[in-house]
A and B are shown apart, each in its own frame.
Chain A
């Protein structure tokens, strides 16, 4: 494709096309600007980027960081894995009338706050690890189901009609259109909701500090008002999130090449 000439006005135009290299420069420029603004405004309560960087390198150089990191990663992956399986089962059954009310109820559970249920979950689970896992699952599943059901609801009715015209049974149509046809969307939902588990991790890890984890580290640093470390950990968490987001995006392209067609530009 020939690279179109980039005009200054394109940078401010909706759907303006500026090309890859210009977009890269834009990103880097805005990042530097933000860091400079942060450095200049910091110094008081807010630790400056240089201080955050120092404490970050300190954190990263200590061995207990990796123990905590892997503890968190393990927890998140386990909870995400279980949640996505549960959410997929619930959402796929959503189109079968007997299961519809159950799926609807689970979606509404988004409005239940976890804090109120901690006591109940503590009684129901046998140890700290399973308490954390079940709280995470309980927190994540309603969001997953909500997103997945909206994916299913937006399936074009004509796709089911195509299945009928090809003599498929209802079950075959369900398999073809809802399961196979939407797998790429499941991936996207997973990517978009991955952040939720990171957000909940701090709260959940604070409940049971014995296994450590980034959340536990964060809570401890907060207690000692060590804002440099707090920001350091935050930045680390942020980067892990951004990387996993990117990774899942790449995997989606890899597994489902057809999703890359038909996008803007």
Chain B
């Protein structure tokens, strides 16, 4: 069995409802995210919200990041459990949007500039170049976003949010539109981000069950209950308790694949 402890509450979503006109998109969404600690390992949390296309994942993503307000319900974050405000949660939207008029370097710089840290030009440069190297972007700093591939843009987008200094980073469909090899690289990358800080918490919103579960320590299944309108959390999958968390190569495990099939049938 894996050795870990669930500690402080980091995020709590309570009774989130979202309606557009009379159409209920989200209904009574409730979940909690705790800081998970492991002896001798600096490790953040990786949480996933899994659901089929069109169920309301992106809407929930925007609510969690404070970009839109739910019709009712609250999202509280941090030790103090304050209501979330846009800017306190890093977001990587589905199409990895970047400032197209800025070079990659300057896109990263604007993330760092809003981190609240007082840095000289040279210190900023060192931090950016150092991170760029870690994320395999050092050769692209002078380019513009339009000159990068989707996978590279995604890395810039993630790094931009990491440099902003947010502990929470939300990713909307980070695996969509990437080929299998790049998907594995995204795995590695997200693990790297997770290991940067004990409290780093990645929340992945996705319909790609296998890739998302393989990374996660906890997964929430977003689906409709029979006869009721609007999506809600229908199941919590504790991958730590099941022994699937933090295991590279888990995608080849037969029992894990059974779990994936089982979840697929419930979406």
Contact = CB atoms under 8 A, between A and B. Distances in A.
Contact of B99 (A162, A167, A184): A162
Interface string A175-191: 01100110110000000
A164 B93 contact: no
A159 B110 contact: no
B93 to A, nearest CB: 5
B20 to A, nearest CB: 16
Given A161-B67, A257-B144, A262-B146, A167 B87 contact: yes
A171 interface: no
A155 to B, nearest CB: 11
A261 B111 contact: no
- Scoring A159, A177, A256, A258 by chain B CB atoms within 10 A of each residue's CB, the highest score goes to A258
B101 A167 contact: no
Main secondary structure of the interface of A (DSSP, over half): helix
A168 B101 contact: no
Interface in B49-103: 62, 65-67, 86-87, 89-91, 93, 95, 97-101
A161 B66 CA distance: 10
A261 B146 contact: yes
A166 interface: yes
B101 A165 contact: no
A92 to B, nearest CB: 16
A158 B97 CA distance: 7
B18 to A, nearest CB: 17
A73 B159 CA distance: 50
Nearest to A160: B67
Nearest to A257: B144
A62 interface: no
A258 B144 contact: yes
Contact of B114 (A167, A184, A256, A262): A167
A180 B87 contact: no
A183 B87 CA distance: 26
A134 B201 CA distance: 59
A181 B99 contact: yes
Interface in A137-160: 156, 158-159
Contacts of A164: 66-67, 86-87
B100 A258 contact: yes
B134 interface: no
A164 B89 CA distance: 10
Contact of A159 (B87, B97, B160): B97
B21 to A, nearest CB: 20
A261 B93 contact: no
A166 B93 contact: no
Contacts of A165: 65, 67, 86-87, 89-91, 161, 164
B100 A181 contact: yes
B99 A159 contact: yes
B147 interface: yes
A258 B161 CA distance: 23
A261 B147 contact: yes
Contacts of B66: 164
Given A165-B65, A166-B111, A262-B146, A183 B101 contact: yes
B69 to A, nearest CB: 13
A89 B160 CA distance: 31
Nearest to A159: B97
Nearest to B98: A162
A180 B89 contact: no
Nearest to A169: B87
Interface in B218-249: none
A168 B99 CA distance: 13
Contacts of B161: 165-166
7 contacts: A156-B97, A161-B67, A161-B97, A165-B65, A166-B87, A258-B101, A262-B146
Interface of A: 156, 158-159, 161-162, 164-168, 176-177, 180-181, 183-184, 256-258, 261-262
Those 4 A-B pairs whose CB atoms lie nearest each other, nearest first: A167-B87, A261-B146, A258-B144, A164-B86
